[in-house]
C-alpha cells in the first residue's frame, strides 16, 4: 500500500518521524512554547537520534531547568498523537493546546509517582515499626522468639528461645551453645532449626517463630528468590512440616532483647550448659 509522504500539517513533501517531532512548523511552535533550551543551529533536519540525544543530555545535565526539560517525553508523545488524530479523525490541535496537554499529563504522572514513593516510604516505616513490635499470635498459637549471640573470632554461637502464649505470658525458655559456626547466616539457621526441633519435642503444634535473621526469613517465605539458601530452606521446611501450622517472621530490637541476652550468656558469660526451664529466667529478673 502506497503511503502519502506529504506532511498533512505543513504541506512539505517527505514526512518522517523526525519531521513530525522536530522540523514541522507545528513542532517548532510547540518546542518554542515549551521553553526547552533550543540547540544551536536548531534541531537536526534528518536525524531523529541526534535530536533525542540532545533532549536527553539537556534534561540530564541542566538541573536548573529540570522542571521545564522533564516534560519533553510528553511533548513528543502529543506531537505524534496530534499527527495520528489528523490522519484518522481529521482533527488537529494548535501548538498551545498540544503543549498544555503534555504539561497536564506530565504533571499527573509525576504526582502519581510522588504518591507511590510516599506510600512506599510509609509502608517501609510501618514494616520497620512492626519489626520493633511484638506481634501477638492468634489464640490457638504460641510464639517462639529466638535470640543469638555469635562470636566470629571464637566461631561460637549462643542460642536461646522464649516461648509465650497469645497473652504474652512466658511458658518456657531454653538455651544452647554451638561450636564451629562459620557465619552469622549459619548461626541463624542452626538456632531456628534447633528451636523448631524443640517445639516438636514439647508438642507445640501451632507456632509463630520470630528471629532477627532477615535474609533467612525472606528465604523461607520466598524460597525461589533465594536459590543460594536452597539447602537451608529445604531442611527448615522439612522440620516445619512436622507442625500443624507455622509462621516465620522478622522481629528486631527490644522485642528479642531477652532471648538475645540469654544467648549472650553463652559467649560472654561462658554458660555453656544447655537447659530448658519453665517461665522467665530468675537470674534475668534480678
More confident residue, 135 or 181: 181
Question: What tens digit of pLDDT does each residue of 181-236 get?
Answer: 999 999 999 999 999 999 999 999 999 999 988 889 989 998 888 888 899 999 99
Q: Cell match 526451664: residue?
A: 277
Q: What percent of the chain has pLDDT over 90?
A: 43
Question: For residue 131, what pLDDT is reported?
Answer: 47
Question: For residue 2, what pLDDT is reported?
Answer: 47
Cα–Cα distance measured from residue 55 to residue 53, given in angstroms and rounded to the nearest whole number: 5
Mean pLDDT, rounded, for 170-184: 93
Angle at 188 between CA 184 and CA 190, to 5 degrees: 110
Residue 166, all three cell numbers: 497469645
Cα–Cα distance measured from residue 50 to residue 197, given in angstroms and rounded to the nearest whole number: 66
DSSP 1: -
- Helix, strand, or coil here: 110? helix
Cα–Cα distance measured from residue 96 to residue 72, given in angstroms and rounded to the nearest whole number: 15
Give this prediction's pTM: 0.54
Mean pLDDT, rounded, for 148-167: 92
CA 30 to chain centre: 39
Cβ 51 vs Cβ 18: under 8 Å = yes
Residue 168 has pLDDT above 90, yes or no: no
Question: For residue 124, what pLDDT is reported?
Answer: 54
Mean pLDDT, rounded, for 224-252: 91
CA 56 to chain centre: 28
- Helix, strand, or coil here: 209? strand
Listed by start position, the domains of the chain span: 17-129, 142-285
Q: What percent of the chain has pLDDT over 70?
A: 90
Q: Name the architecture of domain 142-285.
A: 2-Layer Sandwich (3.30)
Cα–Cα distance measured from residue 218 to residue 59, given in angstroms and rounded to the nearest whole number: 39
Lowest mean pLDDT among 51-55, 104-108, 109-113: 109-113
- Are β-strands 142-151 and 206-211 bridged in parallel, bridged antiparallel, or unpaired? parallel
Amino acid at each position: 500500500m502506497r503511503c502519502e509522504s506529504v506532511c498533512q500539517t505543513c504541506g512539505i513533501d517527505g514526512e518522517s518521524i523526525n519531521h513530525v517531532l522536530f522540523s514541522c512548523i507545528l513542532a517548532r511552535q510547540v518546542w518554542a512554547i515549551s521553553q526547552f533550551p533550543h540547540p544551536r543551529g536548531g534541531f537536526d533536519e534528518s536525524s531523529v537520534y541526534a535530536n533525542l540525544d540532545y533532549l536527553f543530555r539537556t534534561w540530564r545535565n541542566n538541573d536548573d531547568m529540570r522542571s521545564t526539560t522533564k516534560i519533553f517525553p510528553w511533548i513528543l508523545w502529543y506531537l505524534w498523537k496530534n499527527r495520528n488524530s489528523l490522519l484518522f479523525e481529521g482533527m488537529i490541535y494548535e501548538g498551545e493546546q498540544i503543549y498544555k496537554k503534555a504539561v497536564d499529563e506530565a504533571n499527573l504522572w509525576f504526582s502519581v509517582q510522588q504518591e507511590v514513593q510516599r506510600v512506599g516510604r510509609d509502608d517501609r516505616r510501618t514494616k520497620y515499626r512492626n519489626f520493633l513490635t511484638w506481634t501477638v499470635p492468634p489464640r490457638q498459637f504460641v510464639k517462639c522468639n529466638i535470640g543469638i549471640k555469635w562470636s566470629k573470632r571464637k566461631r561460637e554461637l549462643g542460642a536461646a528461645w522464649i516461648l509465650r502464649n497469645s497473652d504474652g505470658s512466658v511458658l518456657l525458655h531454653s538455651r544452647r551453645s554451638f561450636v564451629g559456626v562459620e557465619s552469622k547466616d549459619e548461626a541463624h539457621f542452626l538456632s531456628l532449626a534447633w528451636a523448631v526441633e524443640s517445639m516438636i519435642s514439647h508438642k507445640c503444634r501451632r507456632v509463630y517463630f520470630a528471629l532477627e535473621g532477615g535474609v533467612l526469613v525472606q528465604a523461607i517465605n520466598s524460597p525461589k528468590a533465594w536459590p543460594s539458601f536452597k539447602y537451608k530452606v529445604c531442611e527448615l521446611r522439612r522440620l516445619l512440616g512436622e507442625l500443624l501450622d507455622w509462621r516465620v517472621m522478622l522481629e528486631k530490637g527490644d522485642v528479642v532483647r531477652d532471648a538475645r541476652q540469654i544467648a549472650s550468656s553463652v559467649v560472654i558469660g561462658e554458660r555453656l550448659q544447655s537447659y530448658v526451664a519453665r517461665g522467665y529466667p530468675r537470674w534475668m529478673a534480678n
